[in-house]
């Protein structure tokens, strides 16, 4: 499958950070820093995912969306913007963007959103996710462990999917909280809360697989990995 991602972002350090992250995660990230430059790329080539900043030096990223969609109907556009979702999210999504991520975002969250977008736009591919003997069927949100269906609550499923998509990567409590509960961690004191939920999931996995995949990374958060 085409693993190309076009990143249109004018801040070069952030551009580099995101590109490094995506490249190391198995994507091929192509960078542009202006609307004009971006157009030159998506004019000729099809990108399954385009990450689009809104405040660009030569224009508003919002204007790009309809343009992209008119050429490549299947291209998924994720807006990455400092502008708050409260007003722009509606605009962006109305214009045909597929998702909206507000800066500053967690890279793990970006990764999860890209994967979710790819699953939505390209159903046939990667709708089943494997980790060891765990199998997640994303279309009907079911989980099989060693070939048998196991019941997971909605939150547990979200947590597990997030962990597996970001395997071998440290996930902070804040990132987990925001991803699963959609709350800004600043407005809600959450440290013990996450611990309880991770523990529950950890026990469930241990019971069915006999393995403790979710490790505590001292001081940082949690990580899903094979020993």
Partner 1 sequence: MKLLTKINRTYLRYGILVFLIADVVIILLSNFILKKEIDQQLLLEAEVIAETVKKNNNFPNVYPTDIVKEVSLSEIGNTTTKDTVIYEDVHNELVPYRELSTYKSINEKHYQIITRQMLMEFDDIFSLYTALISTVLGLIFVLVLLFTQKMNTILWGTFNTNVELLKKYSFNSNNQLNLKNTGIDEFDDLNQVITKMSYRLEKDYAESKEFSANAAHELQTPLAIIRNKCENLFSETDLNDKTIQSIRKIYLSTDRLSGIVKGLLLLAKIDHGQFNETEELSLRKLFTLRISNLDDILQDRNLSVDISASEDCKVKMDKRLANLLIQNITANAINHSPISKIIEVKISKNQFSISNHGETAIKEPELIFKRFYKESTNPNSTGIGLAIVKKIADHYGMKIQYSFKNFKHTFTFIPLDC
The smaller minimum CB distance to partner 1, of residues 44 and 154, is found at 154
Q: Which of 71, 126, 128, 188 binds partner 1 (CB under 8 A)?
A: 188
CA 29 to each of CA 35, 57, 63, 73, 199: distance values in angstroms, whole numbers, following the listed order: 17, 21, 22, 20, 35
226 binds partner 1 (CB under 8 A): no
217 binds partner 1 (CB under 8 A): yes
The smaller minimum CB distance to partner 1, of residues 9 and 75, is found at 9
192 binds partner 1 (CB under 8 A): yes
Cβ burial of 219 (10 Å; 0-12, 13-18, 19+) is exposed
The smaller minimum CB distance to partner 1, of residues 2 and 172, is found at 172
34 binds partner 1 (CB under 8 A): no
Count of residues engaged in binding partner 1, rule: CB under 8 A: 44
Whether the CA torsion 156, 186, 79, 41 is positive or negative: it is negative
**Nearest to residue 147, comparing CAs of 160, 163, 134?**
134
Q: Which of 70, 73, 147, 187 binds partner 1 (CB under 8 A)?
A: 187
Cα–Cα distance for residue pair 75/222, rounded to 1 Å = 33
- Could you say which residues in the range 81-110 bind partner 1, by CB under 8 A? 82-84, 86-87, 102-108
Token representation of residue 211? 């393995």
């Amino acid at each position: 499958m085409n693993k190309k991602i076009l990143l249109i972002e004018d801040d070069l350090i952030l551009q580099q950070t995101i590109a490094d992250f995506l490249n190391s995660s198995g994507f091929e990230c192509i960078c542009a820093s202006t609307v004009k430059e971006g157009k030159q790329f998506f004019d000729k080539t099809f990108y399954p995912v385009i990450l689009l900043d809104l405040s660009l030096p030569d224009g508003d990223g919002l204007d790009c969306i309809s343009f992209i969609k008119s050429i490549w109907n299947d291209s998924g556009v994720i807006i990455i913007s400092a502008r708050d979702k409260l007003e722009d999210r509606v605009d962006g999504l109305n214009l045909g963007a597929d998702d909206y991520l507000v800066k500053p975002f967690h890279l793990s969250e970006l990764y999860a959103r890209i994967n979710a977008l790819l699953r939505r736009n390209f159903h046939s591919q990667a709708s089943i996710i494997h980790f060891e003997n765990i199998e997640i069927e994303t279309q009907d949100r079911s989980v099989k462990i060693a070939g048998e269906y196991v019941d997971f609550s909605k939150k547990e499923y979200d947590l597990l999917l997030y962990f597996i998509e970001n395997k071998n990567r440290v996930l902070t409590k804040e990132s987990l909280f925001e991803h699963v509960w959609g709350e800004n961690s600043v407005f809600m004191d959450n440290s013990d809360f996450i611990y309880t939920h991770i523990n529950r999931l950890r026990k469930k996995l241990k019971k069915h697989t006999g393995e403790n995949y979710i490790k505590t990374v001292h001081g940082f958060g949690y990580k899903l990995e094979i020993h």
